Structure 1
């Protein structure tokens, strides 16, 4: 599998994915105690239970034939390094290393580049200087169309650098994001949008810009709506592991029923330790590298 990267969409069968297990991100109970409040977790995660929850996520990925690339621990990392989506972007030509909007996470992209470069994945470039981008703000619709959320974690200069890296053959659609809970909140474009198939999306429309929602519908997308009661429990943070086959967090029964009614096969995982406390769902926990 060395060097394989591609499938620029968010719904194809996952063939290769980068992860960082809780043991490598949290490292020790003492590190959790030292960091969880500073990083705005709701509670301190429990290491052993987090590992059990993560085992279930990995089993779902392996069930579709995915190869798992485990990213290593490093003393410079915070416990937020569990959420590997944000530090790197898959693009034609290789990996783009992000420049994180959350200051405590700015060391993560270089470590992604070191580990995945050693695994044979080419590094296309990096977002530098005043540019800021986090991976949760990017959604590939196909190899020629990439949507980017412009919010507190991703800025105009980051988007400008991204466009230069992906080149003129890729349309970069900028999506202005709402203020919502302010700059300290964990809010990305993928907080309100999860692709399920080429023409099927899970969305939370109350926080979606009207022009972007209209753009999606004009592209022929069917929208499955997340109910208000299940947005805060990350009902909209759903990972497609294959077309219309997805992984979601336990505790969102209305969304689960709507997904099944739309023809989706749904895997449900517990996520109190690995998701709820740090507000990072299945998409945040994974960096797909190769999809069909």
Structure 2
């Protein structure tokens, strides 16, 4: 029996564009270097392909600087896909650009019509439920509309809260397997993962929480050695991928793909 929350046959990615220098950022920690980002992105795509999954690589979108972060545009579930409604106005057009691709891959594609907002970076799918973190980009109305859609497909949604100053719920957590979550201590302290086994990122390595489990691999941002070692010791096959440039735009491992 496969686990639809981390065993995937397909992923969709989008190449970074030269417009990336104009991407959104919570604080300015430097301008991303396109060549470095492309190199890291190629490593990321190659790692996904190494699992045997098909990776659909979409072309760069110059007019949308943040379009490399495809995860925010949709939620992909076994039963269908839901097109999101981003909380950042400059990102609304990315959803329309992604929709034709998902319509080719899914029979059932629904849309968050609004007035609420919701982004994929705030959604963590586990075997038992869909956790959605309210954040600066995801509001109560967006969560309620998604809850209604996924209940049609037999999914239970639970609303939780992203810590202040953290862009997305998944900035601070990721799924490692059926019952295990990697999280920062600050997010776990909110009690949102009760009933799960939680592994904490090392002190000072909170940014490592945005990792992804994709088939046999856990893709982790490079530069967080103690967290990577902890995961290896826990029995996970870790692949470290440079995230230095995406991090300048508040992006991470989960943001760079839609997985289903």
The two structures have a TM-score, normalised by structure 2, of: 0.91
Alpha-carbon distance, 1:114 to partner: 2.0
Q: 1:3 — aligned with what? A: none
* 1:97-129 Cα shifts (integer Å, max 9, x gaps): 000011211111111102332x33234211122
| Contact 2:25-2:250 at 8 Å conserved across structures | no
Q: 1:197 — aligned with what? A: 177
| Contact 1:248-1:282 at 8 Å conserved across structures | yes
Structure number with greater CO (CA < 8 Å, separation at least 6) is 1
User: Equivalents in 1 of 2:179, 2:120: separation in Å?
Assistant: 22
Alpha-carbon distance, 1:222 to partner: 2.2
- Specify every segment of 5 or more residues in structure 2 that has no aligned partner in the other structure, as ranges: none
Residue of 205, 221, 231 corresponding to 1:230: 205
The two structures have a TM-score, normalised by structure 1, of: 0.81
| Contact 1:149-1:177 at 8 Å conserved across structures | yes
Secondary structure of 1:153 counterpart: coil
* 1:33-65 Cα shifts (integer Å, max 9, x gaps): 5x2477855322222222111111111111101
User: Equivalents in 2 of 1:75, 1:206: separation in Å?
Assistant: 36
CA RMSD of superposed structures (Å): 2.1
User: Equivalents in 1 of 2:49, 2:254: separation in Å?
Assistant: 16
Q: 1:163 — aligned with what? A: 147
Residue of 116, 121, 140 corresponding to 1:136: 121
User: Equivalents in 2 of 1:203, 1:241: separation in Å?
Assistant: 17
| Contact 1:37-1:43 at 8 Å conserved across structures | no
Q: Does 1:110 align with 2:96?
A: yes
Alpha-carbon distance, 1:96 to partner: 0.4
User: Equivalents in 2 of 1:278, 1:176: separation in Å?
Assistant: 22
* 1:61-102 Cα shifts (integer Å, max 9, x gaps): 11101111122334542x211111111001353210000011
| Contact 1:238-1:247 at 8 Å conserved across structures | yes
* 1:197-245 Cα shifts (integer Å, max 9, x gaps): 11222111213353313x2xx2xx32211123111xx2111111125x2
User: Equivalents in 1 of 2:174, 2:117: separation in Å?
Assistant: 22
Q: 1:83 — aligned with what? A: 69
User: Equivalents in 2 of 1:158, 1:20: separation in Å?
Assistant: 25
Q: 1:277 — aligned with what? A: 248
After superposing on structure 2, the runs of 4+ consecutive aligned residues of structure 1 that deviate more than 4 Å are 36-41
User: Equivalents in 2 of 1:73, 1:82: separation in Å?
Assistant: 7
Secondary structure of 1:149 counterpart: strand
| Contact 1:224-1:262 at 8 Å conserved across structures | no
Q: Does 1:58 align with 2:49?
A: no
* 1:139-191 Cα shifts (integer Å, max 9, x gaps): 1112x521111122111111111111112522111112222x2xxx6x21111
User: Equivalents in 2 of 1:194, 1:260: separation in Å?
Assistant: 16
**Number of equivalent positions:** 258
